Structure 1
Amino acid sequence: MENILLEECCDILDSRRIPITASKRKKGPYPYYGANGVQDYVADYIFDDELVLLAEDGGNFGSKDRPIAYRVSGKCWVNNHAHVLKPKSGLDVDYLCYSLMFYDTNGLVNGATRQKLTQAMMRKMLIPKRHINEQQTIVRNLNKICQVKWLREQELERLDTLIKARFVEMFGEPIANPMGWTVKRLKDVSVLITNGNTPKGGSKNYVESGITFLRSQNVWRNRIELDDVAFIDAETHESMKKSSLHHDDILITKTGRINTENSSLGRAALFKGADDSANINGHVYLVRLDGSIVPEFVVTILTGEAYRKYIRKVCVGGIDKRQINVDQVEDFPIIIPPYERQKMFAAFAAQVDKSKVAAQIHWMKHGCYLTA
């Protein structure tokens, strides 16, 4: 199929972008967009159009389920972390967005820790060239598929809500502790709390296959994502033995921005792999419990709304990017209900998780993107 260069089919409006630091933003009704979506709401706007925003830096490059491009409509403000594209005549804006959402950026982005898609490289990107009628047919079909996906995601959210409701029913809110459970520090119920390291040479030390090397982008709220996973060799893994993972270790992300819905700060998940089959980098904490408390119970505490608010209060750093220090992780307050009660909750959550897996299998069979 014939392709067309992005710079030939779009007006590139990057020169009109204006970043505003968080301290200087005036609150208002207009969305303030960055690489991955809404960052804030501000009092003024600089765009009023049908546009596609494509991540410049800090995007989900390489992800199979988190897009690097998204559609915006109407009055908004865009910072300098997203390219601004307006389709020319003959190009449907939704078709453009679908074409870019999961674009393979291998060879286009650069940067070891924070990858960047420069405007020069972005201009070289290709999308399939189709007649406008065909574009619109494709868009209608993909919209139907994405609607199915949305419905399944709503189902997963309802199941998550069911688990949270059951937790509150059995234990109450874990920070306020209205049921008066004994409270211990996380280090009092753990045998190890540590963070990993970045191998010498950084990403240049990664290999095509080997020991799974988890980074903050792999740790989400109560789940580990492996679509953008790195690997290290056995020798590097051995040199980082202290952060080698064991089954049922809890992972907590160390750094992130606090003004985004999906902030990477303080996300927690349970590692269910085999002992010594994975390692972590310096942006992830490892918590190994001592057996006196149920891991699923602790992760539910750490991923709840009450704990998200607690972590925002105790974290340190600048206005935008913060981190949790190891002593703060060690001092995390954890309620201690009877062990059998914790196990009952874990069994209930496991049954709900089976329903979640069934729902995920159903909607993950549907694709919703184009490739050039």
Structure 2
Amino acid sequence: MKVLLGDVCERGSSNLKQSDVISCIGDYPIYGAAGYIGNVDFYQQDKEYIAVVKDGAGIGRVMLLPENSSVIGTMQYLLPKENVLPKYLYYVVRHMHLEKYYTGATIPHIYFKDYKNEEFNLSSMEEQKRIVAILQLIENIIDARKQQLIKLEDLIKARFVEMFGDILCNDKGWPIYALDAISSSRLGKMLDAKRNTEKNSFPYLANFNVQWFEFDLSALHEMDFTDAEREEFSLKDGDLLITEGGEVGRCARRC
């Protein structure tokens, strides 16, 4: 059955600031855009819920958070209704890539009123449980593979030191350059959905398209580019893209 996101959850807000809670102590966890902050002596939600980063870096990032916990004001609560499992809703919202709704040139924001009409398939409760179990198994496999990749990366670093020495100590006398001496950097064009006319639309790469060492081109969005902007922001061979939101530092290079 096709439903809208607004049919299966309610929006909740928080006015808590990280500076207000960083020194608190208690039994109840509180979370921010980067994850767990600490424990406090109160909580705002008594049931499992979804939290979405709505302001600043990492907008659109989705978390499934436990009962008896809270988030700070840069986050937004999505409170599941009785017709949806929290974890099923988590997978659904994560797949929606809500960052595409951001507005604002300096500090990006996303608003529930803009993305609440996202449509998806709402299965029966039994089917939701089955789907969640399958996706959880897949996530476990992915997590195990990530641990393998970490071990392989450590191996590569060890082999690098064997071949070229310790760069920090420069024990083999290699010439050392500052990064800005051998490269230049720039930000991509900021998307402002309210100003997008769709008259000169072209595909662009968002954070979720940049994976580790490769580009995921299965879902490309479009926005307006002038001829000058196309020239300025077009990727050239050898360009390295590094994400500033989501999993910060993830990178891929155009070959």
- Describe the shift of the 1:105–1:272 C-alpha distance in structure 2 as closer, same or farther (beyond 3 A): closer
Give the TM-score, by structure 1 length: 0.50
Residue 94 in structure 1 maps to residue 61 in structure 2: no
Distance 1:134 1:244 in 2: 44
Question: What does 1:320-339 align with in structure 2 at a 5 Å threshold?
Answer: none
1:50 and 1:72 in contact (8 A); partners too: yes
The residue aligned with 1:20 is: 17
Residue 78 (structure 1) shift: 0.6
Local SS of the residue matching 1:137:
helix
Alignment of 1:56-205 (within 5 A): 56-58=54-56, 68-103=61-96, 105=98, 109-113=101-105, 115-175=108-168, 177=169, 179=171, 181-186=173-178, 190=182, 193-196=183-186
The alpha carbon displacement at 1:56 in A equals: 2.3
**Cα distance, 1:27–1:102 mapped onto 2, change above 3 Å:** same
Give the Cα–Cα distance (whole angstroms) in 2 for the partners of residues 110 and 251 of structure 1: 20
TM-score after normalising by structure 2: 0.68
Q: Kindly tell me: are residues 25 and 88 of structure 1, through their superposed partners in 2, closer, same or farther at Cα, counting changes over 3 Å? A: same
Residues 23 and 50 of structure 1, relative CA distance in 2, 3 Å threshold: closer
Whether 1:223 aligns to 2:220 is no
Q: Given that residues 33 and 78 in structure 1 are in contact (C-alpha distance below 8 angstroms), is that contact kept between their aligned partners in structure 2? A: yes
Cα displacement (A) at 1:237? 4.5
Write the distance in 2 (CA, Å) between the matches of 1:56 and 1:129: 24
Task: Kindly provide the CA deviation profile for residues 171-221 of structure 1, in whole angstroms up to 9, marking residues without a partner as x.
Answer: 45433x16253443237973xx433476799885995447xx66787767x
Which 5+ residue runs of structure 2 have no aligned equivalent?
A: none
Unpaired segments of 5 or more residues in structure 1? 62-66, 274-372
Please list, as runs of the form range in 1=range in 2, the aligned pairs for 1:305-320 lying within 5 A after superposition: none
Find 2:253's aligned residue among 271, 275, 300: 271
| Matched-pair contact (CA < 8 Å) for 1:109–1:115 | no
Which residue identity does 2:12 align to in structure 1? L
Count residues with an aligned counterpart: 246
Distance 2:209 2:112 in 1: 27
Identity of aligned residues (%): 22
